[in-house]
A and B are shown apart, each in its own frame.
Chain A
Amino acid sequence: MENRFLATSGLPFCKGCGHHLIARNTGKALESLDLDPMNVVIVTDIGCNGIIDRKFHTHTVHGLHGRSVALATGITLGLDDRSKKVIVFIGDGGATIGLQHVIEAAHRNVDITVIVHNNMLYGMTGGQSSGLTPCGFKTTTSPDGKSYSGYDLCRIVGSAGASYVRRIICMGDFSSHLAEAIDWEGFALVEAMEICPSYGVKYNPGRKLAGIVKEAGLSLDFHKNPERKCFSVKPSTIIKSLFEEVPDVEACFESTLTEPISIVLSGSAGGGVQLAAELLARAAMASGLHVTKKGNYPVTVGTGFSSATVIMSPHKILFNEVSEPDVLIVVTEDGLRYSAHFFDSMREGLIIADSGLTPPPTNSDLITLDFTKKAGTRNAAILSLMYYLKRNPVIPMEAFMDTLEKSRIAGKVDFRAMLSSLDGTE
């Protein structure tokens, strides 16, 4: 049955192995579809089935154990051409280790055809049981028969949404079934049931393939759903530079800073600490300064501390980690717990804390003010920065106000009223 697709002489399989039949039926199916061999990509897995590449005159790709379905998925999505037929040869072992890939491709209805060579054990490595070995089937690792059932692969991929699923007994001419699967637009899986002549026959003398399949409760019904659309990934036609996603900052204010200054702002997740620090950094840029802003927080998203470090400098900033900030601002209990060590370690500098907190002793100047009472938990961080700038105008207050009024929270918060709430404070 030598044809344009397959060289059938000297197939690399044991005598009596069903893999011979699958290879020959695949070649015949491809011929019957009148395809161009250059429109066919055979992707093979690891295992006896995977050493067939050299016999196919198509494109061939030989990958890793169990990963061929994922590899083929990448290929078919990369080609994005329905005239190209991507066919996977995989064994029951490969389908076991790579089950996630099979489910994913079935679920998305990726346009590939998966031909599972299910000889019910790992043939290349010595006849061990696989996830698809049926209950009672004897292998080198279950000489008394496997004690639990194998996966019903067809049912698994069927429930995952596969649009074409068929289980066949690997005997005679089943090329028309393979042709239908290969021609199918979308995910098609054909599970071909075999017995490995080297291990399966030896350990299960006298047992017939059809009987084993029936006893295992593996149905030979097939299922198809032509309504499902193939999954594809199309190049986006509208792509903008990421730089357009962030506001351009023009230096229209001036700062009197001559040396770098570092500010640590500590509060709680959800308290707008990161945004407040980012807006301060932007205001510093608007004042002609270089800036860095780093966030520190636990892996949780909506709970725990949230701390940000901003460095503002008239010079380019290299090292952006701050072991002892010039200014520490603490607005919540979480922030206080996270920053408590600074109260002891800061030898000089300024600490500003919410008046609702009980700060530990410190040698630094400590100022308390009721930021949370005045601005609420969501805006206390911003108000604390306003207060700091009012007291130490390292950048003009107007630069910060202007940045706030251009920010994404502008309109939601009355920043001018917030600033007025600081009237009378020192």
Chain B
Amino acid sequence: MILTNGSMLIIESLARAGGEIFIGYPITPANALYRYGTMRFPMWLAAPDEITTLQWMAGFSATGRLPVTATSFPGFALMVESINMAFMMELPMIVILVQRLGPSTGTATCGAQGDLLFLNGVISGGYGVPTMCISSMEDCWSIPAAAAKCAVELRTPVFVLTSKESVMPLSDMDVSSLPEVERVSYPMHAGQSNYLPYLPENNLVPDFLPTGNDSIQTRVTASTHDSEGLLRHSTKEAMANTHRLHDKMTANLDEFTYYELDEEDGSDTLVLSFGITANAAREAVGKLRSSGRKVSLLIAKTLLPVPPRYFDVLSGYERIIVAEENLDGQYRRILFGASDRENVTGVNAIGRMVTPDEILREVANHGK
């Protein structure tokens, strides 16, 4: 048994999963991830800024080495153009986003869940980047490893979404009981000829070859391109390739959909939460049930692209309460749109955590 924090679990998990290089630029509250990254990864580099961070990561990834970084909103904002590049180039990488209170530099040492809407639209054109969210200490172990698998198997950047409250607090953890982490590897092209860098093979994902390899030419590009990796205008073939970037996510999302669903027979109310608000939701649901109130709970871990399975679950309830630590319900808006709905409400807070009692009251205020 050790006393540890989420940062340590996340980095240990990613290193065991095959993360080869950690590239960092200091930012609170992601600093412990950086420090652990320098201690645990086979290689690490200190970048002079976050744009450089992402570009170096893309370079390493193009040579077949899985890169990892950790940042918070101000740094993430600088990375966005380069994340679009890596998405278009189909380069696996992990970006751990530790949310903190905004807007702007806000309060560096205060947690938040305010960046989800930003992530949902981060790719120009509205393409989804797999976004997996940590909602417990156990998730700090399993979600990063799952993210690494998703990144290399789908050849894409993956966001691991956390917050100050999930990476900094300490708690007891029996690390001997943690499951083994599977080591990932890039889906390599076999054979010596006929390699087209962006010709999809399995599940709409092209096979990979490292740039600079000894025998087969590779072409990597961030601009609209065909299967050869050559820049094209909006030709039919190029647009088919661009469409594929969306289709490969939807075709494979099911395999990377992680959530906890705790349904209670006869319940007409579902509490949906994620991330740092998940424990408040778990506690509230426990108390409600102890008092005889029937209620179900969905903890979403794969947040984006939204898994269709969530809508199947949501459609079975008359009332839905979405609890999240932001101004007016970012995941709620992603799931249900901007207009108010009578049967969908939110429990929200900024500058402090949503409490179990607030969720409990919201459930108790409505219905049976």
Binding site for B on A (CB under 8 A): 36-39, 41, 51, 53-54, 57-64, 67, 70-79, 81, 84, 86, 100-101, 104, 233-236, 239, 241-243, 245-251, 278, 281-282, 285, 289-299, 317-321, 323
In the complex, 11 of the A-B residue pairs with CB atoms within 8 angstroms, ordered by the A residue number, are A59-B211, A70-B51, A70-B52, A74-B58, A234-B43, A236-B42, A249-B1, A299-B28, A319-B282, A319-B283, A320-B165
Q: Does B252 contact A (CB under 8 A)?
A: no
Bound complex: CA of A299 vs CA of B42, how far in Å? Answer: 31
Known: A38-B214, A59-B211, A73-B56. A78 touches B63 (CB 8 A): yes
Contact of B109 among A61, A75, A296, A321 (CB under 8 A): A296
Looking at the complex, which one of B2, B214, B217 makes contact with A58 (CB distance below 8 Å)?
Answer: B217
In the bound complex, CA of A209 to CA of B168 (Å)? 59
Q: Say how far B351's CB is from chain A's closest CB, in angstroms.
A: 12
User: Which residues of B64-109 are within 8 A (CB) of A?
Assistant: 64-65, 67, 81-82, 85, 89, 107-109
Residue of A nearest to B39 (CB): A242
Q: Is B170 an interface residue (CB 8 A)?
A: yes
Q: Is the CB of A70 within 8 A of B59?
A: yes
* A287 CB, min distance to chain B CBs, angstroms: 11
B191 at the interface (CB under 8 A from A): no
**Chain B contacts of A61 at CB under 8 A?**
62, 211, 219-221
- In the bound complex, do residue B213 and residue A100 qualify as a contact, i.e. CB atoms below 8 Å apart? no
- When A74-B60, A77-B60 are in contact, do A318 and B1 touch as well, CB less than 8 Å? no
CA of A297 to CA of B213, assembled, Å: 49
Tell whether, in the assembled complex, residue A75 and residue B212 are in contact, meaning their CB atoms are under 8 Å apart: yes
How many contacts A-B (CB < 8 Å)?
216
Which chain A positions have C-beta within 8 A of B81?
64
Chain B residues near A292: list those with CB within 8 A. 169-171
Residues of B within 8 Å of A, CB-based: how many? Answer: 74
Given contacts A62-B231, A64-B85, A321-B353, contact A242 B36 (CB under 8 A): yes
In the assembled complex, the CB of A241 is this many whole angstroms from the nearest CB of chain B, namely 6
Check A104 against B42 for contact (C-beta < 8 Å): no
CB < 8 Å: which of B20, B36, B55, B165 contacts A70?
Answer: B55
Please indicate the chain B residues that have their CB under 8 angstroms from the CB of A295 in the complex.
168-169
- Per-residue contact bits, chain B 346-368, to A (CB 8 Å; 1 contact, 0 not): 00000011011000000000000
Among B4-12, B199-207, B309-317, B329-337, which stretch is in contact with chain A?
A: B4-12
From the candidates B36, B48, B57, B355, name the one contacting A74 in the complex (CB within 8 A). B57
Q: Besides A60-B229, A235-B42, 20 other CB < 8 A contacts?
A: A54-B230, A63-B221, A64-B85, A74-B60, A74-B67, A75-B59, A79-B210, A233-B21, A236-B42, A236-B43, A241-B40, A242-B40, A243-B12, A243-B175, A248-B1, A278-B3, A282-B3, A291-B172, A293-B3, A319-B283
B49 at the interface (CB under 8 A from A): yes
Q: Is B59 within 8 A of A71, CB to CB?
A: yes
Q: In the complex the two chains form, is A41's CB within 8 Å of B211's CB?
A: yes
Given A318-B282, A319-B280, A321-B353, verify A241-B172 contact (CB < 8 Å).
no
Verify B4–A63 contact, CB threshold 8 A: no
